[in-house]
Structure 1
Amino acid sequence: MKQRLTVLGSTGSIGTSTLDVVVRHPERFEVFALSACTQVDLMLAQCAQFQPRYAVMASAPHARLLAEKIKVNGLETQVLQAQDALETIASHSEVDAVMAAIVGAAGLAPCLAAARAGKRLLLANKEALVVGGEVFLRAVREGGATLLPIDSEHSAIFQSLPEDPAMWAQRVDKIILTASGGPFRQRASGSLRDVTPSEACAHPNWVMGRKISIDSATMMNKALEVIEARYLFGLAPAQFDVVIHPQSTIHSMVQYRDMSVVAQLGTPDMRVPIAYGLAWPERVASGAAALDFHALSAMTFEAIDDHGHPERFPGLRLAWEVLAAPAGTTAVLNAANEVAVAEFLEQRIRFDQIHAVNLATLEAVQPSNPDSLEALLALDARARAAALRSAGRMAT
């Protein structure tokens, strides 16, 4: 039988890459539902190509516009709007797998719905774990869901670990996440205050959305990935390390107790981990180019504080600090960072003030062990309000 798929965030880079893999295997996959934020015309084209039963838009005006265009084009897709519609298409009884590619904390509720419904959950939304933490993991366990990481680093780790999770703690010495270093790896740290949004979004290796591109430039994406890896793989925070690997050929590594290292290599193409997640435990063609070892001139590695400038990526160390703090602190960091990045993209704060907003918010908001979605969302709202106040003070 075909695997019926819901794609949350179908018009983003992960969503479009997912559909590219799906279209290569019409005998294996079919699209049940799609969701998007504002890109009506691209969603219309996806509906025409994949004929989903449902299409969800984030706002009523965009939903109405899509519904009008769906009708004019004679399509049968039903258009829905509102947050509970995302939860509906993520947990629907006819859905087998959910690609969770909504950026930010907005993706938490539908991820929880999919987990509680026992779906195969392909997690490209790292915030579900960074914000949801133990609440999210409990939903996965109780719902009997299958959780498969889609971030290139976490997929690489998953592929490099023993098949039996019970063996991870016994055999693994540490997990090493690789980082490209982003566009400012060799830029003088003192000049980062003058960075523009377009410069920060110009990633040297990956084609990504604006928010994650900024996170890559600040290395906050790697801090969030360390937090996600801690929840995914269950090792102690001290067993995670980060190394800069500018070529993005090795996507991450697992060092075992005998000091052997297993790594996953490939071209920097998100279709590879997407195809792995969709077909797991099998493997199918992804459409990505093969890695040409004859053309590899070098694979180099650098410590985070190479060149004597540890202040270039000050946000990275926050991963270990918030993991050692009370439950919910990771959610505060995520909310602060989402606000700070948005303020920078709107050019209301400087690039170097993103970290300052994150620090100020962590100092201002004390979590109280959130144990439900409602508590997490309330904490997220408090942290966002505090971050906006901090950004406002810096902008004046």
Structure 2
Amino acid sequence: MRRAGRWAAALSLLIVTVLWIAGLGHAPTGIAAAGRLVALWSADLLLIQVVLMARIPWLERSFGQDTLARWHRLTGFSSFFLLVAHVVLALIGSAERAGTGVLRQVWELLTAYQSMVFAWLSLFAFVLVVVTSVRKVRRRLRYESWHLLHLYAYLGVLFALPHEIGLGHDFRSPAARGYWWTLYAVATASTLIFRIGLPVWRTLRHRLTVDTVVTEAPGLVSVYLRGRRLDRLPARAGQYFVWRFADGPGVLRGNPFSLSGRPDGDRLRITVKSVGDGSARVATLRPGTRALIEGPYGRMTAANYSGGPVTMLACGIGVTPLLALLWDLPYGQGKATLVYRTRHPHDLAFLRELQWLARERGVRVVPLVGPRLSDTSWLPAEYADYSDAEALRQLSPDIADHDVYVCGPDPWTDAVLKAARQLGVPPGRLHRERFAW
């Protein structure tokens, strides 16, 4: 299935190239023609990027949000670099034909063609999105700010359209118009239906409101929500929603929070650690506050469980989806292990539930407390005598036969998965939930 996705993207680029070749006889050649080709590739990848993150349910189920996000990032940066190449080639080609300098040509293009104003606005929007998507920059931003800035990509797509129609020689043949309008229609419809329409419909249908807010540990709260027809909400243990709470200013800023309990048709529970403005506000929610939902998302559910024993490894707030799965998965008595990593003893949460699971279902709970050994290890410092793989083997000797579920910060999760692969866990039995944005 994943190979099919890559082939579909390659096929779309091939179609664009063929259409460009077919139109060579009706447009300038040389540098200008090369500039048009990279612009077409850029536009094609941009629209594919929009479809990838449109939250189309069957795409989510087939590939998983992790894979789609990785493809989204790859196509996004590729599209931007091709766009920059188009700008450079187009200016050089235009200046060459006009016999003027490049800077003078920039001014003449801005004043001669109204659609060029939209083209520059589109470029500015994409520059803003790309710069804030660089990891070092992104880490300095609050999630809410980054998410809001990321929406400027839609403005970039919108501003690019007048320029493409007004000056694009490669949009004038019937075949080219048919292809591009179809691609634009698919991207637009996907966004309107699945990013806007479906969340609005589910919010109105289920009418979720805050029931109670419970403190689980310092800086950690659980929110219980009630609503209508929750048995018809297609949510499963291990999934997450993007949540917006109607508690005042900032209601449109969404935050992704995992379900920390198995949906029972009556209530939902999320657990949130105070790490930013959005998550800190959750602790102050009052009963009756309306919740706007987008989701559910995520493939780390019982649907991908192959049966048999289970090993789960959680770091900090990453325990929330794994706790929900411990309640939900049909593993046998004494066939589940939870390795629960925290920095301080008071960070351990859900002790009462974990004790019940240990007593009634034989879950083996292994707390690992203390500062981390290093940035490349998942172990606490007191386990310095062990390698990552050796420690994992000690905790779960027959782990190669287990389904392994991992949730935590990306560097920590990567270290766990690396150790699990070294111990022979098949890729199909490695399940991760990204806990970063």
Q: State the TM-score, normalized to the length of structure 1.
A: 0.23
Structure 2 length as normaliser, TM-score? 0.21
Q: Relative contact order (alpha carbons < 8 A, sep ≥ 6): 1 or 2 greater?
A: 1
Higher helix fraction (1 or 2): 2
